[in-house]
Chain A
Amino acid sequence: EIVMTQSPATLSVSPGERATLSCRASQSVSSNLAWYQQKPGQAPRLLIYGASTRATGIPARFSGSGSGTEFTLTISSLQSEDFAVYYCQQYKNWPPVRAFGQGTKVEIK
């Protein structure tokens, strides 16, 4: 079973600053990695898929990188609406167990 580990658990950032979130897979998932954003009281929203492709309507300040076991989500200039919890998820084809990371909370510094 693939285990996804995110770091840090909490990231304190000032508005306008850059945020860098990490996600590590216990074995290679190639580029089968997605990032989701979840705000309080809301369902998650797909941000990035294929490790680096922004989903429809996602602003360019969000970018993803990495492959294999190491991945990064970067928010170039944090806006007030970006303070949320971010999850990575692998979707390697087999076995189709869609493990999530434990999440990184991005909070206002």
Chain B
Amino acid sequence: EVQLVESGGVVVQPGGSLRLSCAASGFTFDDYTMHWVRQAPGMGLEWVSLITWDGGSTFYADSVKGRFTVSRDNSINSLYLQMNSLRTEDTALYYCAKERGKLIDYWGQGTLVTVSS
């Protein structure tokens, strides 16, 4: 059974930094591209970033480009999102998600990031 478990969400001040983690199990992690998707309270889904199976390519939404960095450690089946220069508008539930054939087929339950002074 595919499992994606996010962690690291906390309350952080504007301008601060945070690293989110996602522990994956139930599939061959290093075979798959992985994504981060976020959802602000009461709002819709916003795609944030993806990283290819080997970490060789990464892509970002314009809203986070230059501030967020996605990475992975295939030796321990883990995905990360380094978030710098955080803004109040980054407040959201952050989902880790697995890709299959270019589409997202599994999601974690999310970790909540709150950016507030």
Tell whether A95 is near chain B: CB-to-CB under 8 Å: yes
* Stretch in A11-19, A59-67, A98-106 touching the partner: A98-106
Check A44 against B103 for contact (C-beta < 8 Å): no
> In whole Å, how far is B99's beta carbon from the nearest beta carbon of chain A?
8
- A93 partner residues in chain B, CB cutoff 8 A: 102
Asked whether, in the complex, the Cβ of B45 is within 8 Å of the Cβ of A97, the reply is: no
Q: Give bound CA distance, A98 to B45, whole Å.
A: 11
Tell me which residues across on chain B come within 8 A of A1, comparing CB atoms. 62
A44 and B47 in contact (CB under 8 A), knowing A89-B103, A91-B103, A96-B59? no
A-facing residues in B23-60 (Cβ within 8 Å): 35, 37, 44-47, 50, 59
Majority secondary structure of chain A interface residues (helix, strand, loop or mixed): loop
Q: Which of A97, A98, A103 contacts B104 (CB 8 A)?
A: A98
A interface bracket (residues with beta carbon within 8 Å of B): 20 to 34
Asked, given contacts A96-B59, A98-B35, A98-B50, whether A87 binds B45 with beta carbons under 8 Å apart, the answer is yes
State whether A34 and B103 are in contact (beta carbons under 8 Å apart), knowing that A43-B95, A43-B108 are contacts in the complex: yes
Interface centre among A36, A89, A96, A100 (most CB of B within 10 A): A96
Asked, given contacts A43-B107, A46-B104, A49-B103, whether A97 binds B44 with beta carbons under 8 Å apart, the answer is no
Q: List 11 A-B contacts (CB under 8 A).
A: A34-B103, A36-B45, A43-B95, A43-B108, A45-B107, A49-B101, A89-B45, A89-B104, A98-B35, A100-B37, A101-B44
B residues with CB within 8 A of A? 35, 37, 44-47, 50, 59, 61-62, 95, 101-105, 107-110
